[in-house]
Structure 1
Amino acid sequence: MTRSSLFTLAYAVVLGAAGPLAACAGNRDAAANSQSALAASNLSETQRASTYSDAQIQAFVAARTEIQQLTPGQTAEEQAANQRRITDILQRHNINGVTYNAIETATRTDQALANRVAAASVGSSFTDAQLQAFVAASAEIDPLNRELASATPERRTQIAAEIRSALDRNNIDLQTYNGIAARAQADQTLGARIAQLRAAQTRPSDG
């Protein structure tokens, strides 16, 4: 098993992203405008995505965890209240909105950065049950990922749904799956545990 084969959910990382801060606040039109402005005004920062420090990645993950818990506002007042909460969250974790949005956007195209974010999101300790779920899910997800390069947009949408179904069937969430995959690329001990579990799951049972 190669290290590259351990990270098997690059496409689903994109699907699981929190989205820009305007979307988190609840205003979809503002979110679209925010993304356009971000692409135009902060391209150089996105291009430098892989140079973000570990502290910035940790701050992004911590802030994102809190922001994802917010209920999108339906009224202008609710959206304004959410924006204030987001500002407070960012300040508490010492990360500004430009950097947060740049990291979130860059994870969609920078695989190395996506791996770092995934690894930082789940820590470094996993139970055997989590690893067994990862191995079982990856057996279904690996073939789907191999289709992505040549898949049509319609098929990519189907693959996304099939990936989520595989995660649900194996009782593992997207964040944990991607976190295990990312950690295993750099942690030889974790990679060895996964290899052992994979071998055990594919070994014919006695009798």
Structure 2
Amino acid sequence: MGERQTRLEVLRYLREREERSAYGWALSTEVQPRLQHSVQAAAAQGLAELADREMRAELSAHEGRPVLWAARLSPQGHDVLAYLQASPAPAPRSAPPEAGEQIVELRPSQMDALRVYVNLLPGLCVPPADGLVERVRTAHFDRPNNRWRMALTHEQIETVAYAFYLRAHSGSAAEANQFTREYGITYRPEVAVAPARMGA
């Protein structure tokens, strides 16, 4: 199990113990020594809290026996679990595209630019194509190839090109140029002609 997964399992364990505890603390008698080490590592990252001497004395009084060690989630630890629960699971890499879709692979800088665009909602005059926001949220990161993978419709792909068009006009054209080379799509706005003013 990786370090990140181990950390999340420890946070889940602490939350479970807190919910069962009358005082909101996981006590040393309830946490195996090997897990105590992982809890202390989580505390070093600000994700858990260890009871100080005064709190241990208070818990000892409640328990009627010495409490030598106790821990609970920090507010940040609670929020990590809440964020994890609210986040959709990434799309599996093996999921084939449905009819009318194709796999699009974006470099990290391209994905960053696309996320900036979708996060502008609801203030956009040209909003993303239907379903694109969810595809961005559930994109799969292909670590060996350093690419974000999504199955997108043609309309969604055109929206991606529009995001890179905005990026090109506000900083870097690299993302748009890469996308054009790889997918042959470039966003080009229609030339707008303003109506004549009254009395002109």
TM-score > 0.5 by shorter chain:
no
- Per the normalisation by structure 1, the TM-score is 0.29
- In terms of fraction of residues, the more helix-rich structure is 1
Q: Which has the higher contact order (CA 8 A, sep 6+)?
A: 1
- In terms of fraction of residues, the more strand-rich structure is 2
Bigger Rg, structure 1 or 2 = 2
